């Protein structure tokens, strides 16, 4: 298994245009059709089952650094333990005037790349959301920026805090975020468990999709150009070109998974499983509220990935409670290039920050517990072995116990 490296290196060494040019001569030499053919239902269920067995909690939550930012809000770095990776660091920013006596929403800020996350991500959120000034958002949120394993939290005043864990190319960054949500809800009583929202960009957008699919405590998310589905033609062409050009050491996870396959260190089954774990669009049926933003000229994550995500959303059962897809002509791999994104971001955050509390049994979160929810429950009945929105008691089985819970909350 290969070691993860920075996406910034990918940006300087391999543009999609260069890869496409190489593919013109490479396609005849390598055929990865078997790797990139659409995943089967059995393959999807195997990944769901694996994910259900990996739902980490955080322990030993300890504030290791704390101080005010320029506006007087308290910023913290927290150390906690997530098994089996070990020590994990999270940066938090508490609302202005926070004294722990009233509840606040929680907004997860999921960074891209493999270089760690700095406290500047909180300023990015302010710029994007207009927090504190946007009349429809009203109250501030507890901002949470988790590192991913093998990455640092970078602060100016306190130095860097490096999370442990293997620097392997897996989808365990999602586990780190799930463990962070557990830690926040268990250790900050003022965190409103009905309003945990997330946004992520680039690799963090892909992590976001994984979190939404696996952790139903996170009820809404905004994805900026995250990888969503590599089982499609442009990814296959990229991979074939990389293999043929001898550039298999390029960073970025799913491409390297394919390199392992070509070099004989991963089987076809293992390779497809890893690709599927990075293709969370196939699991969007477990997502409730999602907005997606992507530029058509993105050189690092092809816009086709988000277009594939849209196709999965269209087929999802039950349908998502809310979904919007925004495509930006000429937009590249930066939020600033997505002209006009801010009102859309703010509208989503306003809606998410004010969404009504979760109602037990309301699987599709339309505010009623009725026949639509019952249909979803019955379709998942008995055969499901992984996390499912219809698994109301969280025991990884959809059965009479979940039905009883639903009937207890029946509203029409």
Binding mask 220-249 for Ca ion (x = CB under 5 A): ------------------------------
* Segment contacting Ca ion by CB under 5 A, of 262-270, 298-306, 335-343, 355-363: 355-363
Helix, strand, coil: what percent of the chain each, to 5?
A: 40, 20, 40
* Segment contacting Ca ion by CB under 5 A, of 16-24, 234-242, 274-282, 367-375: 367-375
d(CA 21, CA 241): 8
CB of 410 to Ca ion, least distance (A): 10
CB of 401 to Ca ion, least distance (A): 6
320 belongs to the binding site for Ca ion (CB under 5 A): no
* Segment contacting Ca ion by CB under 5 A, of 130-138, 150-158, 313-321, 371-379: 371-379
DSSP assignment string, 106-164: EEEEE--SSS-EETHHHHHHHHHH-TTT-TTT-S--EEEEE--TT-EEE-SSS-EEE--
Residues 6+ apart with CB under 8 A from 347: 136
263 belongs to the binding site for Ca ion (CB under 5 A): no
d(CA 372, CA 356): 19
The residue within the footprint of Ca ion, chosen from 366, 374, 375, 403 (CB under 5 A), is: 366
Alpha carbon distances (Å) from 16 to 21, 57, 278: 8, 38, 19
Q: Which is nearer to Ca ion, 134 or 366 (CB)?
A: 366
The residue within the footprint of Ca ion, chosen from 127, 265, 354, 395 (CB under 5 A), is: 395
Number of residues that bind Ca ion (CB under 5 A): 10
Alpha carbon distances (Å) from 180 to 257, 284, 285, 381: 27, 21, 23, 30
364 belongs to the binding site for Ca ion (CB under 5 A): yes
Binding mask 372-391 for Ca ion (x = CB under 5 A): -x-----------------x
CB of 381 to Ca ion, least distance (A): 10
* Segment contacting Ca ion by CB under 5 A, of 118-126, 188-196, 273-281, 364-372: 364-372
| Nearest residue to 261 (alpha-carbon basis) of 47, 33, 54 | 33
Q: Which is nearer to Ca ion, 127 or 395 (CB)?
A: 395
CB of 387 to Ca ion, least distance (A): 10
* Segment contacting Ca ion by CB under 5 A, of 42-50, 54-62, 329-337, 393-401: 393-401
Residues in the chain: 412
Q: What is the 3-state secondary structure (H, E, C) of 42-57?
A: HHHHHHHHHHHCCCCC
Cα diameter, the chain? 65
Structure tokens at 289: 């509220």
* Segment contacting Ca ion by CB under 5 A, of 94-102, 190-198, 316-324, 394-402: 394-402
Alpha carbon distances (Å) from 294 to 54, 123, 205, 228, 349: 30, 21, 11, 11, 18
The residue within the footprint of Ca ion, chosen from 128, 203, 402, 406 (CB under 5 A), is: 402
393 belongs to the binding site for Ca ion (CB under 5 A): yes
Q: Work out the burial of residue 325: count CB atoms within 10 Å of its CB; fewer than 13 is exposed, 13-18 middle, 19 or more buried.
A: middle
Q: Which is nearer to Ca ion, 137 or 387 (CB)?
A: 387
| Nearest residue to 105 (alpha-carbon basis) of 180, 196, 222 | 196
In sequence order, what are the beta bridge partners of 78? 63, 90
Alpha carbon distances (Å) from 278 to 185, 313, 388, 398: 27, 17, 19, 26
Q: Which is nearer to Ca ion, 314 or 410 (CB)?
A: 410
362 belongs to the binding site for Ca ion (CB under 5 A): yes
* Segment contacting Ca ion by CB under 5 A, of 137-145, 167-175, 223-231, 370-378: 370-378
317 belongs to the binding site for Ca ion (CB under 5 A): no
Q: Which is nearer to Ca ion, 260 or 391 (CB)?
A: 391
- Looking up tokens 């809800």, which residue turns up? 185
Interface contacts to Ca ion, rule CB under 5 A: 362, 364, 366, 368, 373, 391, 393, 395, 397, 402
């Amino acid at each position: 298994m290969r070691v993860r490296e920075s996406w910034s290196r990918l940006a300087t060494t391999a543009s999609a245009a260069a890869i496409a040019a190489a593919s013109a001569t490479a396609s005849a030499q390598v055929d990865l059709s078997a790797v990139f053919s659409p995943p089967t239902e059995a393959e999807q269920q195997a990944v769901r089952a694996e994910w259900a067995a990996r739902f980490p909690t955080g322990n030993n939550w300890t504030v290791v650094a704390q101080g005010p930012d320029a506006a007087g809000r308290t910023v913290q770095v927290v150390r906690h333990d997530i098994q089996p990776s070990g020590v994990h660091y999270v940066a938090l920013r508490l609302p202005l005037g926070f004294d722990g006596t009233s509840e606040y929403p929680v907004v997860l800020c999921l960074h891209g790349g493999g270089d760690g996350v700095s406290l500047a991500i909180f300023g990015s959120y302010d710029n994007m959301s207009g927090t504190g000034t946007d009349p429809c958002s009203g109250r501030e949120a507890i901002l949470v920026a988790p590192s991913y394993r093998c990455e640092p939290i970078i602060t100016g005043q306190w130095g860097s805090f490096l999370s442990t864990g293997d620097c392997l190319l897996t989808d365990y960054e999602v586990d780190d975020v799930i463990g962070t949500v557990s830690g926040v809800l268990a250790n900050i009583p003022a965190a409103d468990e009905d309003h945990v929202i997330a946004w992520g960009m680039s690799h963090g957008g892909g992590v976001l999709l994984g979190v939404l699919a696996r952790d139903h405590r996170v009820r809404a998310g905004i994805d900026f150009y995250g990888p969503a589905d590599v089982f499609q033609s442009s990814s296959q062409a990229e991979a074939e070109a990389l293999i043929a050009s001898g550039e298999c050491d390029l960073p970025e996870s799913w491409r390297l998974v394919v390199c392992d396959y070509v070099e004989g260190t991963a089987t076809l089954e293992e390779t497809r499983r890893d690709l599927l774990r990075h293709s969370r669009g196939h699991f969007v049926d477990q997502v409730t509220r999602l907005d997606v933003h992507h530029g058509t000229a993105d050189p690092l994550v092809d816009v086709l990935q988000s277009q594939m995500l849209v196709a999965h959303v269209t087929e999802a059962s039950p349908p998502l409670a809310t979904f919007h897809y925004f495509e930006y002509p000429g937009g590249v791999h930066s939020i600033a290039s997505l002209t006009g994104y801010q009102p859309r971001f703010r509208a989503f955050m306003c809606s998410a920050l004010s969404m009504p509390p979760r109602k037990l049994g309301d699987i599709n979160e339309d505010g009623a517990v009725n026949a639509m929810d019952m249909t979803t429950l019955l379709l998942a009945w008995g055969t499901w072995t992984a996390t499912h929105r219809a698994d109301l008691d969280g025991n990884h089985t959809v059965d009479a116990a979940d039905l009883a819970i639903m009937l207890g909350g029946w509203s029409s």
